[in-house]
């Protein structure tokens, strides 16, 4: 076992875990933050995307131990003081989700996308979201949501 | 008077708040104190006899609670998995449904077949122990291709199904068709492969089984589209527990597309094992297991011929299909290539006679069952590829050929030669709208422009029809269904005026919590935030048939309307009493009850309160305000429309660029246009996936699944898809009180045919799905 400590959604957390524990397992199983989902076993689907030190990361591609000391944000930490993040609000407003399973990862990726591309074109959004699979929406309304959020985020 | 958030409003979804904040409750998010973890040892071979299984080393591995095999379940009296729809062959014999144990007993018949269930304190311990199980296999030669499996001399997969034949079924008047062909001026022919697909809802299947030794009750939390049907089958056929001792709960479910209709081995084994070890047991599929064991879709090989006269009128249609059932017959597998396929071969056309024959057979592959559209995409693909081929043979514009042969708007009810009675529609309206949306007449100029740039351009049409709202019970029963296909609802007022709606439908992305609440808001004037929709728990909702076949609104929504009607009827009596008027004088609109010709009125909330606090109340009336209803429609619904795809292809690379997509769909009345559009987007995306990207591939020699992960099976990504132009036409459905038809499958039904017609149009050659760049390039460069 190894002790890992990090800040998750602004709260300091620490736990003894097996050295091969993935960050996503730490988040889901140790912290019981189940908004971060697992949709595949080859790091393709992006349902487990979180932010590590501000950058989007597929949390199944990283050991918990690699996040030692890091500042991690999951979907549960995105809304502030009960107020939805503009990306969350845009997904709701534009019907950017159906079953909702890919949604947390999609939103976390999209927040990072807009951070790096404040005024993204449709093409940029589609290319950037290549690592997040949605089976329900056909992406049409996801693209629309990200565009709308980018405008509201001051892009 | 219109109502806020009522029928026809694009209300933002109530369920979204929990999904966008990470507060959904999907199955793997649930845990129970003392739970153990299950893991399946699966067959590495496509076809093998099991000579022996040695569990001794594995059982003593760290953390192992117990290990079970198929023999343990048989010894416990647990029955095999069933197919709930009986098909009769041409010769009158019933279809062959060989035994299908949850875990293999003497043989494995596809890669991934269950061999043992290891339960341990942690998942990792269960996986490690599984590696210590010694299985003695006698490896046999597999067959994965349906045409080869049905050919003489193929490996025999089940002794109960000689020649691997499940059934040889026919529909229609063969003699009439043969006669029409004999006298036809033109005969057009086509050979098609409908590629095998993996449904891939983003949430993998999972189960959490609990046993209460005190009450003897079992609770199975599972990723199901139809929890009551799962309970019924597990109870009546498998003998897991009596229905009254078995609770099945489907919480938030992350997509289904058909694949979560079926009663599978893993969920069955999990709940059975929970009782055996008297502890909660949790099993969650990983994506590899999903590829190996979630029922696949499609996998047809078809030859079709169309007879036409000199004026371009269709005379007759004949279709011969071979359908791959996989290694075992899944829950509703037999119905898909028969009554959900052959019955739709008239499409939108007036065809005097049709004959269809389908041979379904077994192979050493994952079982095939209903996947979004289920039979109707396959039918539409045959019909619409055939129409384009015939139009080309006749040198007619494909839309003109279709318009010439459409069933006309004044022809309803229209009886097809393949036992369907279409109830309503306006096919020319939808086609002309789609043509206008995509500027069909401007295509030639766009094509010239592409050619000037060294690109090939094509346009493709699919005029589809589907039979949705799957029901009615008497009809499906006469065709072999083992269940009734009605739906249930209860509308329950609380004393303070809020409402809880219990529905037998199940939402796994469709937005029922919003759409159904809109019905209540509209009909009873209750604010939408005061309406709660409960679904997916057999201990809460009345027995329901669940969600598939675009039936939730047409059947489940109609059941809600029926319950609302009873609420209104009772409320009128209370209103009459309270306002000292006769019941006949009470008028009702959107939850306001008034006395005709006066300004006296009471709201639904006031009446509900009076029903629960009946101090001043009609003497002969029961207190309380809750009504239930079961609704069994008289006919299917028939959504139909036209999708048109436009593509540009780079002949140097074979890459297909979808430059435009127009969808004009007739879904009858629409409750929430935003949700309907989203359903069309998602359906088309899956249709495009089938046509361009997806395909389950087995190695024919070893029977290994080659497309077993997202590295190998090409799921549509955001940058593979275009934006969609979506519009609806509306001929209300006459057979249900909402006038709705169903919208969930349309895109997946129309999509592949429209896109493949566009590609064939661009390259001038026939090509099978998926039209990968390599395939397209080879077709372009072939002679």
CA distance B220 to B222: 6
Q: In this complex, do A95 and B28 lie within 8 Å of one another by their Cβ atoms?
A: no
pLDDT tens for each residue of B328-348: 999 999 999 999 999 999 999
**Beta-carbon separation of B203 and A99 below 8 A:** yes
Question: Domain A86-152: which topology?
Answer: DNA polymerase; domain 1 (1.10.150)
Comparing C-alpha atoms, which of B185, B1, B112, B711 is closest to residue A131?
B711
pLDDT score for B30: 97
- Per-residue pLDDT tens digits for B261-298: 999 999 999 999 999 999 999 999 999 999 999 999 99
For B253, which residue in chain A has the nearest alpha carbon?
A: A99
Please tell me what DSSP assigns to residue B153.
T
Domain ranges in chain B are 36-140+205-284, 149-196+296-406, 421-468+636-783, 486-631
B441 φ, ψ (degrees, to nearest 5): -70, -20
Mean pLDDT of B510-520: 97
pLDDT for B411 beyond 70: yes
> Could you tell me which of B684, B669, B641 has the C-alpha nearest to residue B741?
B669
* Contact between A47 and B711 using a beta-carbon 8 Å cutoff: no
SS3 B502: strand
Cβ burial of B162 (10 Å; 0-12, 13-18, 19+) is exposed
Chain B residues inside the 8 Å CB shell of A102: 202, 254
Q: Which residues contact B211 (CB under 8 A, 6 or more apart)?
A: B217, B218, B219, B274, B275, B278, B279, B280
Average pLDDT over every residue of B90-97: 98
Q: How many whole angstroms separate alpha carbon B463 and alpha carbon B425?
A: 12
Crossing angle of helices B512-524/B558-578, nearest 10°? 30
Cα distance from N-terminal residue to C-terminal residue, chain A = 45
Per-residue model confidence (pLDDT) at position B654:
98
The encoded tokens of residue B18 equal 């929990």
Dist CA B435 CA B433 (whole Å): 5
Among A32, A46, A98, which would you mutate to test the B interface (most chain B Cβ atoms within 10 Å of its Cβ)? A98
Sign of the four-CA dihedral A28, A85, A132, A50: negative
- The answer to whether B779 and B659 have CB atoms below 8 angstroms apart is no
What are the two backbone dihedrals, phi and then psi, of residue B56, each rounded to the nearest 5 degrees? Answer: -60, -50
Give the one of A39, A104, A123 whose C-beta lies nearest to B287's C-beta.
Answer: A39
Q: Which residue of A has its CA nearest to B709?
A: A42
Candidates 3.50.50.60, 3.10.20.30, 3.40.50.10490, 3.40.50.720; CATH matching A2-77 = 3.10.20.30
**Beta carbons of B709 and A41 less than 8 Å apart:** yes
Average pLDDT, integer, range B682-687? 98
| Record: contact A97-B19, CB cut-off 8 A | yes
In the stretch 6-65 of chain A, residues with CB closer than 8 A to chain B read: 18, 28, 33-42, 44-45, 47
Please name every residue paired with B50 in a beta bridge, in sequence order, or none if there are none. B137
Q: Classify domain B486-631 by CATH architecture.
A: 2-Layer Sandwich (3.30)
Chain B residue with the nearest C-alpha to that of A84: B21
Which residues does chain B have within 8 Å of residue A30's beta carbon, measured at their own beta carbons? Answer: none
Other beta carbons less than 10 A from residue A41's beta carbon? 17
Assigned token pair, B777: 């390039």
pLDDT at A133: 98
**What are the strands of the beta sheet with B36-42, ordered from one edge?**
B64-69, B114-120, B36-42, B281-284, B206-212, B217-222, B246-249
Which distant-in-sequence residues (6+ apart) come within 8 Å of B402 by Cβ? B348, B349, B387, B391, B431, B461, B463
Tens digit of each residue's pLDDT (9 = 90 or more) over B454-463 = 999 999 999 9
Compute how many other C-beta atoms are within 10 angstroms of the C-beta atom of residue B768: 16
Bond preceding residue B413 cis, omega within 30 of 0: yes
Cα–chain center distance at B771: 24
Sites in chain A below the pLDDT cut of 50: none
Strands (E), B679-782: 725-729
Determine what percent of chain B falls in helix, strand and coil, rounding each to the nearest 5: 30, 25, 45
Enumerate the residues of chain B whose CB falls inside 8 A of the CB of residue A95.
Answer: 12-13, 674-675, 677-678
Distance (Å, rounded) from C-alpha B146 to C-alpha B169? 16
Task: Among B353-367, B474-488, B550-564, B611-625, name the one with the lowest average pLDDT.
Answer: B474-488
Which residues of chain A neighbour B254 with C-beta distances below 8 Å? 37, 99-102
> Do residue B22 and residue A74 have CB atoms under 8 angstroms apart?
yes
Which chain B residue is nearest to residue A127, measuring alpha carbons? Answer: B719
Rounded to whole angstroms, how far apart are CA atoms B647 and B760?
Answer: 10
SS3 state at B234: helix
CA distances for B589 relative to B259, B383, B480, B519, B625, angstroms:
41, 46, 43, 13, 18
Of A18, A130, A137, which is closest to B682 when you measure between CB atoms?
A137
On chain A, the residues whose CB falls within 8 A of the CB of B224 are none
3-state secondary structure of A151: helix
Give me the pLDDT at residue B39, please: 98
**Contact yes or no for A35 and B24 at CB 8 A:** yes
How far, CA to CA in Å, does B410 sit from each of B191, B252, B280, B406, B424?
34, 44, 60, 11, 9
Buried b (16+ CB within 10 A) or exposed e, B38-59: bbbbbbbbbbbebeebebeebe
Supply the DSSP symbol for B547. S
**Are the beta carbons of A127 and B204 separated by less than 8 Å?**
no
Whether residues A76 and B684 touch (CB distance < 8 A) is answered with no
Choose from B18, B21, B290 for mutation: most chain A CBs within 10 A: B21
8 Å CB contact of A103 and B511: no
SS3 label, residue A134: coil
Long-range interactions of A5-12: CB distance < 8 A, separation 24+: A5/A68, A5/A69, A6/A67, A6/A68, A6/A69, A6/A70, A6/A71, A6/A72, A7/A70, A7/A71, A7/A72, A8/A33, A8/A72, A8/A73, A8/A74, A8/A77, A9/A33, A9/A72, A9/A73, A9/A74, A9/A76, A9/A77, A10/A77
Tell me: ipTM over 0.85.
yes
Give the least confident one: B118-132, B261-275, B537-551.
Answer: B537-551
Residue range B161-181: mean pLDDT, rounded: 98
Asked if domains B149-196+296-406 and B486-631 share a fold, the reply is yes
CA distance A37 to chain B (A): 8
Is A129 close to B719, i.e. CB distance below 8 A? yes
Contact call for B22 and A34, based on CB within 8 A: yes
Cβ <8 Å between B717 and A38:
no
Residue B601 has pLDDT above 60, yes or no: yes
B287/A84 CB distance under 8 A:
no
Whether A41 and B717 lie within 8 Å, measured CB to CB: no
CB contact at 8 A, B17 and A28:
no
d(CA B402, CA B398): 6
From chain B, the residues in CB contact with A143 under 8 A are 718, 723
CB atoms B717 and A130 under 8 Å? yes
What does the pLDDT read at residue A155? Answer: 55
Contacting residues for B266 by C-beta, under 8 A, at least 6 apart = B40, B102, B114, B205, B207, B283, B285, B293
Least Cα distance to B373 among B407, B337, B348, B401 occurs for B337
pLDDT band of B632, cuts 50, 70, 90: very high
Chain A CA closest to residue B716: A133
Minimum distance, in Å, between the CA of residue A21 and any CA atom of chain B: 11
Q: B117: helix, coil or strand?
A: strand
Q: Across all residues in chain B, what is the average pLDDT?
A: 97
Interface test with B, best of A36, A101, A121, A134 (most B CBs within 10 A): A101
Who among A79, A92, A101 is closest to B12 (CB)?
Answer: A92
- Contact between B39 and B127 under an 8 Å Cβ cutoff? The reply is yes
CATH fold for the domain made of B421-468+636-783: Aldehyde Oxidoreductase; domain 4 (3.30.365)
Closest CA to B453 of B656, B657, B649, B720: B649
Q: What is the pLDDT of residue B162?
A: 98
Candidates A138, A142, A146: best to mutate against B (most CBs of B within 10 A) is: A138
The beta-carbon neighbor of B682 closest among A79, A104, A136 is: A136
B288/A135 Cβ within 8 A: no
pLDDT for res A93: 98
Q: Cα separation of B596 and B619, whole Å? A: 23
Give the separation between CA A66 and CA B783, rounded to whole angstroms.
56
Q: Which helix (H) or strand (E) holds B589?
A: strand B586-589
Closest CA in chain B for residue A102: B202
Query: CATH: 3.90.1170.50, 2.120.10.30, 3.20.20.70, 3.30.420.240. Which one for B36-140+205-284?
Result: 3.90.1170.50
What fold is seen in the domain B149-196+296-406? Answer: Aldehyde Oxidoreductase; domain 4 (3.30.365)
**Domain residue ranges in chain A:** 2-77, 86-152
C-alpha pair distances (Å), B377 with each of A35, A111, B76: 34, 37, 41
Alpha-carbon distance of B398 to B526, in angstroms, equals 49
Q: Which residue of B has its CA nearest to A32?
A: B29
Alpha carbons B675 and B681: distance in angstroms, whole number: 10
Among the partner residues A18, A78, A135, nearest to B255 by beta-carbon distance = A135
According to the model, what pLDDT value does residue B215 have? 97
User: Which of A1, A17, A130, A140 best probes binding to B when mutated, by most B CB atoms within 10 angstroms?
Assistant: A140
**Crossing angle, helix A140-152 and helix B673-688, to 10 degrees?**
120
Say yes or no for a CB contact (<8 Å) between A45 and B677.
no
Rounded to whole angstroms, the Cα distance separating B654 from B780 reads: 8
Model pLDDT, residue B1: 58
How many Å apart are CA B162 and CA B437, to the nearest integer?
Answer: 52
Among residues 114-133 of chain A, which lie with CB inside 8 Å of chain B? 122-123, 125-127, 129-130, 132-133
């Amino acid at each position: 076992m190894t002790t890992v400590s990090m800040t998750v959604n602004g709260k300091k957390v620490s736990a003894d875990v097996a050295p091969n524990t993935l960050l996503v397992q730490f988040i889901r199983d140790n912290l019981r933050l189940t908004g971060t989902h697992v949709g595949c076993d080859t790091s393709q689907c992006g349902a487990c995307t979180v932010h590590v030190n501000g950058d989007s990361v597929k949390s199944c591609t990283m050991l918990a131990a690699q996040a030692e000391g890091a500042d991690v944000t999951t979907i549960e930490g995105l809304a502030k003081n009960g107020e939805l993040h503009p990306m969350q609000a845009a997904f709701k407003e534009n019907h950017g989700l159906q079953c909702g399973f890919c949604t947390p990862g999609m939103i976390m990726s999209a927040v990072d996308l807009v951070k790096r591309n404040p005024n993204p074109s449709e093409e940029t959004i589609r290319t950037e979201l290549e690592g997040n699979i949605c089976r329900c929406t056909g992406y049409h309304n996801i693209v629309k949501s990200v565009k709308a959020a980018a405008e509201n985020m001051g892009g | 008077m219109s109502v806020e958030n009522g029928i026809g409003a694009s209300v933002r979804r109530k369920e979204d708040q929990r999904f966008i904040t990470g507060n959904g409750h999907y199955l793997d998010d649930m845990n129970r104190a003392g739970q153990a973890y299950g893991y399946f040892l699966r067959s590495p071979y496509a076809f093998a006899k099991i000579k022996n299984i040695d569990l001794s080393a594995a059982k003593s591995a760290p953390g192992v609670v117990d290990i079970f095999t198929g023999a343990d379940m048989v010894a416990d009296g647990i029955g095999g998995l069933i197919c709930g729809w009986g098909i009769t062959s041409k010769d009158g014999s019933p279809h062959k449904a060989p035994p299908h144990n949850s875990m293999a007993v003497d043989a494995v018949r596809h890669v991934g077949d269950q061999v043992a269930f290891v339960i341990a304190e942690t998942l990792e311990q269960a996986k490690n122990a599984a590696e210590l199980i010694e299985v003695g296999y006698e490896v046999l030669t597999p067959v994965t291709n349906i045409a080869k499996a049905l050919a003489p001399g193929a490996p025999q997969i089940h002794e109960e199904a000689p020649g691997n034949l499940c059934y040889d079924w026919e529909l229609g008047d063969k003699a009439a068709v043969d006669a029409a062909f004999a006298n036809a001026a033109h005969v057009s022919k086509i050979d098609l492969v409908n590629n095998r697909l993996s449904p891939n809802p983003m949430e993998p299947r999972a189960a959490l089984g609990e046993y209460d030794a005190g009450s003897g009750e079992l609770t199975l939390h599972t990723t199901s589209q139809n929890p009551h049907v799962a309970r019924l089958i597990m109870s009546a056929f498998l003998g897991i527990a009596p229905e009254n001792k078995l609770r099945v709960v489907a919480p938030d479910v992350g997509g289904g597309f058909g694949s979560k209709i079926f009663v599978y081995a893993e969920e069955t084994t999990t709940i059975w094992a929970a009782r055996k070890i008297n502890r909660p047991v949790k099993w969650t599929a990983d994506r590899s297991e999903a590829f190996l064991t979630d029922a696949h879709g499609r996998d047809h090989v078809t030859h079709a011929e169309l007879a036409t006269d000199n004026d371009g009128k269709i005379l007759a249609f004949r279709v011969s299909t071979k359908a791959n059932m996989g290694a075992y017959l899944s829950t509703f597998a037999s119905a898909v290539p028969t009554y959900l396929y052959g019955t739709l071969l008239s499409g939108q056309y007036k065809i005097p006679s049709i004959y269809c024959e389908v041979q379904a057979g077994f192979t050493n592959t994952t079982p095939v069952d209903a996947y979004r559209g289920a039979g109707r995409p396959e039918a539409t693909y045959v019909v619409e590829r055939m129409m384009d081929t015939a139009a080309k043979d006749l040198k007619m514009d494909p839309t003109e050929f279709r318009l010439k042969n459409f069933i006309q708007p004044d022809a309803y009810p229209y009886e097809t030669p393949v036992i369907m009675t279409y109830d309503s529609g306006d096919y020319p309206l939808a086609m002309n709208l789609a043509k206008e949306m995509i500027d069909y007449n401007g295509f030639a100029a766009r094509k010239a422009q592409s050619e000037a740039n060294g690109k090939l351009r094509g346009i493709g049409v699919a005029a589809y029809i589907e039979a949705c709202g799957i029901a009615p019970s008497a009809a499906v029963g006469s065709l072999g269904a083992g269940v009734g296909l009605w739906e249930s609802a209860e509308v329950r007022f609380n004393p303070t005026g809020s409402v809880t709606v219990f529905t037998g439908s199940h939402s796994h992305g469709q937005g029922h919590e919003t759409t159904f609440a809109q019905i209540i808001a509209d009909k009873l004037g209750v604010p939408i935030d005061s309406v709660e929709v409960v679904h997916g728990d057999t201990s809460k909702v009345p027995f329901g048939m669940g969600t598939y076949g675009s039936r939730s609104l047409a059947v489940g929504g109609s059941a809600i309307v029926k319950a609302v009607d009873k609420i209104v009827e009772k409320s009128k009596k209370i209103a009459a009493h309270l306002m000292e008027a006769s019941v006949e004088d009470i008028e009702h609109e959107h939850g306001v009850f008034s006395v005709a010709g006066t300004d006296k009125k009471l709201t639904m909330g006031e009446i509900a309160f009076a029903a629960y606090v009946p101090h001043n109340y009609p003497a002969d009336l029961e207190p309380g305000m809750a009504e239930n209803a079961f609704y069994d429609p008289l006919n299917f619904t028939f959504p139909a429309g036209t999708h048109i795809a436009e593509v540009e292809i780079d002949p140097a690379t074979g890459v297909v660029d979808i430059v435009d997509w127009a969808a004009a769909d007739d879904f009858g009345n629409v409750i929430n246009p935003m949700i309907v559009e989203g359903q069309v987007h998602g359906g088309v995306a899956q249709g495009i996936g089938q046509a361009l990207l997806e395909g389950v591939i087995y190695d024919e020699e070893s029977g290994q699944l080659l497309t077993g992960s997202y590295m190998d099976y090409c799921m549509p990504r955001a940058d593979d898809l275009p934006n969609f132009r979506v519009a609806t036409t509306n001929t209300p459905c006459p057979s249900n009180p909402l006038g709705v038809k169903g919208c969930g499958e349309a895109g997946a039904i129309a999509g592949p045919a429209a896109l493949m017609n566009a590609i064939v149009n661009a390259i001038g050659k026939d090509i099978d799905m998926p039209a990968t760049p390599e395939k397209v390039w080879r077709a372009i460069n072939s002679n």
